[in-house]
Chain A
């Protein structure tokens, strides 16, 4: 089961799909697409899932900052994909509302290590 980690430390077990009105956005979205504002137009969804393809690629942190600024406050921003426990604190500081962690990653890194 996938886990959803919330800022207040709560962990929710997610069964299957996160939320029907969510949209996935790659953290590696080209700058030109971000810049034209097209992205923010498209993203007036309830939940935006920012997908990290590689934990060493930090584009998602900057993108989160911009999206948090440009999106309506009703939109929530979740990080997903290749995130490691050592990035949890950074994710909160950059504006993510939650982090979705796969079962595999959750257990391999050790459940305790996700609690910052």
Chain B
């Protein structure tokens, strides 16, 4: 994993000092609240319903044990003993006071972490495949490019005051686990002719009020071309982008209004005119990052030999189910990735206690080359577990109530903070997620149902990606009463598409039974192991709508 060099550390330390100064000037009053707001947002600090909330960047979702231990300390000291993992592979802390935040940032800087650009109208924390570098199906390891772009975009002088936030996601696999097509820019890396990747740039995806699937904007960029091309794209967007209406300010709207070809031409023109001299060393800098992400050397023979002995222990019913549901094929023989569900029965999706974080840090250190990942489904991953250690890992996870075998199953629900924390919320999402999870667990069919994504957003901003879930739920406020709108058939993978909205929303009370009906209908109708979206396509909206409202059984 990447370790900061001197420049990175100086940048982050400077930024801490700068923010301390900004907070002091705000408290003194020499900075107005209007002036302070974008500055605090660029440092991940939100003003929420009840208090401030700090969002800490976990670049492309990669963490080590020292960092996770620090996050545990912070959750004890500044939150109420919890950390909240988000759909952008970040972690959020509720309840810090403004005066405390500079201290908190300084603590983060001691473990090479920060909150820079986790919010505000700038290039946000870059997300990637949570199985980057370890997935069996991976073509190109995206982590070096992720880190390269993190460095390029961090504190970029030209792009700190963009029309709106700007999100990147990067994948190097044909099976897209990074949802690149619902990001402002999604990059798909492929193997190039001389060992360097070629990059397809998808542009204009997004969720929120106007969900859009990205369009293929530029195919086959070389690593030499990538940074200047991105710079040209962001420059054209910055100069065009509307400041009068924040709902029309994202690049997806610019793309729709300008048209694909016209926007491509504008970017191309700027790309050609752009001064390339600042980029002469950039490819060398990328190459210098590769060793940080080198594959470990392992004794394959030994690993699989021991695996054969241990396999028996994995045959118990509970552990076998966990193995099947929560572990994934690995690039390296003798290894698996272990997914850790942060969706236990009755829990808050994405929450971990400080005690769990400390225990996980120890497990990662001992069994996973000191590394963890955060997924956009609000779960965690131990990416480097030797098969021989799987049983021990399972036992250790069970100790801390984190061995729930429900990864990708219906109770693996994504939910945003909603009305319980978020100032923008129009409805609750955490409690309804808990209710739905309970209803689905009651059926005890989860493992027979198989893969099914239920995502719940507490307002139209769609932080829980409800548009691209099999079953999306959007909480609205109808004359003071919570009302939940259902969307079916969305996908966030390589065949991403926006789901279709059913009819009128249902009440919070009706919601669990409604979801249960949809799930049961799907199971009844599906052929073999047909996915939800395929069944939906075959049977159609009308029939599914009937299931939603339970008119005919």
Contacts and interface: CB of A to CB of B under 8 A. Distances in A.
Contacts of B35: 55, 84
B158 A57 contact: no
Contact of B243 (A54, A61, A86): A54
B275 A69 contact: yes
A109 B24 CA distance: 12
A62 B235 contact: yes
Interface stretch (B83-91, B142-150, B159-167): B159-167
Interface string A3-29: 000000000000000000000000010
A86 B238 contact: no
B332 interface: no
A93 B155 CA distance: 11
Contact of A62 (B30, B39, B121, B239): B239
Interface in B24-53: 25, 30-31, 35, 38-39
B25 A93 contact: no
B175 interface: no
Nearest to B231: A65
B540 to A, nearest CB: 43
B22 interface: yes
Given A31-B236, A57-B243, A62 B158 contact: yes
Given A69-B273, A69-B275, A58 B236 contact: no
A93 B31 contact: no
Nearest to A110: B30
A1 interface: no
A61 B158 contact: yes
Contact of B266 (A35, A61, A110): A35
Nearest to B31: A109
Contacts, number: 70
Interface in A77-96: 84, 86-87, 89-90, 93-94
A86 B22 contact: yes
A94 B239 contact: no
B316 interface: no
B240 interface: yes
Interface in B72-125: 121
Contacts of B22: 86
Given A35-B266, A69-B273, A86-B39, A58 B159 contact: yes
A61 B157 contact: yes
Interface in A17-49: 28, 31, 34-35
Contacts of A59: 238-239, 241, 243
A77 B132 CA distance: 45
Given A56-B38, A84-B35, A108-B30, A89 B157 contact: yes
Contacts of A62: 158, 235, 238-239
A63 interface: yes
A28 B236 CA distance: 13
A45 B18 CA distance: 36
A71 interface: no
Which of A56, A57, A108, A110 has the most chain B CB atoms closer than 10 A to its own CB? A56
B549 to A, nearest CB: 45
B14 to A, nearest CB: 10
B375 to A, nearest CB: 32
A113 B238 CA distance: 27
A31 B157 CA distance: 20
Contacts of B30: 108-110, 113
Interface in B216-275: 235-236, 238-241, 243, 266, 269, 273-275
B158 A94 contact: yes
A58 to B, nearest CB: 3
B252 to A, nearest CB: 17
A108 B162 CA distance: 26
Contacts of B273: 69
Interface of B: 18, 21-22, 25, 30-31, 35, 38-39, 121, 157-162, 235-236, 238-241, 243, 266, 269, 273-275
Interface of A: 28, 31, 34-35, 54-59, 61-63, 65-66, 69, 84, 86-87, 89-90, 93-94, 108-110, 113
14 contacts: A28-B243, A54-B243, A56-B38, A56-B161, A57-B161, A58-B121, A58-B158, A59-B241, A62-B235, A63-B239, A65-B158, A65-B235, A94-B158, A113-B25
Given A56-B38, A58-B159, A113-B21, 10 more contacts: A34-B239, A35-B266, A35-B269, A57-B243, A58-B121, A61-B238, A62-B235, A65-B158, A86-B22, A113-B25
Q: Which 6 A-B pairs give the minimum distances between C-beta atoms?
A: A58-B161, A93-B157, A90-B157, A62-B238, A31-B240, A62-B235
